Amino acid sequence: MDNMAIYIDITKCTACRACQVACKSWHQLKAEQTRNRGSHENPPDLSAHTWNRIRYIERVKEGHISWKFFSDRCRHCDPPDCQFMADTYLEGAVIKDSSGAVIFTEKIKGIDPNEILSSCPYNIPRYDPETNMVFKCNMCIDRISYGLQPACAKVCSTGAISFGKKDDMLKLASTRINQIGGDATLYPGEGYNTLWVLPDKEMLKHI
């Protein structure tokens, strides 16, 4: 398969959270009990049953409040630190697929989960003691292998989430950065298979 990427333009995200729901629905992830914490942001964190979460970033500048919404999920690093760590214990526990997706296999049960969790610089994977598995976004590998879009991209009504060949997604991102102007930037960088366009570099302080 071609090297693919998920591209997210947070200037187009309205926090409808359709991507959160689609992720849970497609992967049959159970609902979690939450409570009102005085915020629209829900759930409060990623978990073994929540692989994609919309983070609310509130900023105050010159007396004006602005919100931006960040779809937090696996960056699908290239190369992935989690795979490097896992390979020192058990080869095949973490795979970097030709599509660009970083996949956790059943073999991961043979590794101390704390080793997997601590290897991620973005604090993404989550451990499930019931199954002894570690979970995160897998780029809907079971969908993209058959030519389908990831569930999140399929349901995004504003066009904030796109999916395609990585080179094409990088071109889209570059075009969008030029359109926004200022110090709009690509995050985290070209060495990843999940890419975000941020409206300004100040956003880097909040993600």
Average pLDDT over residues 36-62: 89
Please give the tally of structural domains in the chain.
1
Average pLDDT over residues 162-179: 98
Q: Which residue has the tokens 């599509």?
A: 99
Q: What is the CATH number of the domain that holds 163?
A: 3.30.70.20
Q: Provide the pLDDT confidence category of residue 159 given band limits of 50, 70 and 90.
A: very high
Domain membership of residue 138 (yes or no) is yes
Per-residue model confidence (pLDDT) at position 58: 87
117 closest CA partner among 135, 139, 92: 135
Given a contact cutoff of 8 angstroms between Cβ atoms, the answer to whether 55 and 69 are in contact is: yes
Average pLDDT over residues 150-160: 98
Average pLDDT over residues 103-132: 97
Per-residue model confidence (pLDDT) at position 61: 78
Tens-digit pLDDT profile for residues 187-199:
999 999 999 999 9
- The total number of residues shown for the chain amounts to 207
Domain membership of residue 65 (yes or no) is no
Domain that holds residue 177: 1-13+75-207
Q: Three-state DSSP class for 185?
A: strand
- Burial status of residue 130 (CB atoms within 10 A of its CB: 0-12, 13-18, 19 or more): exposed
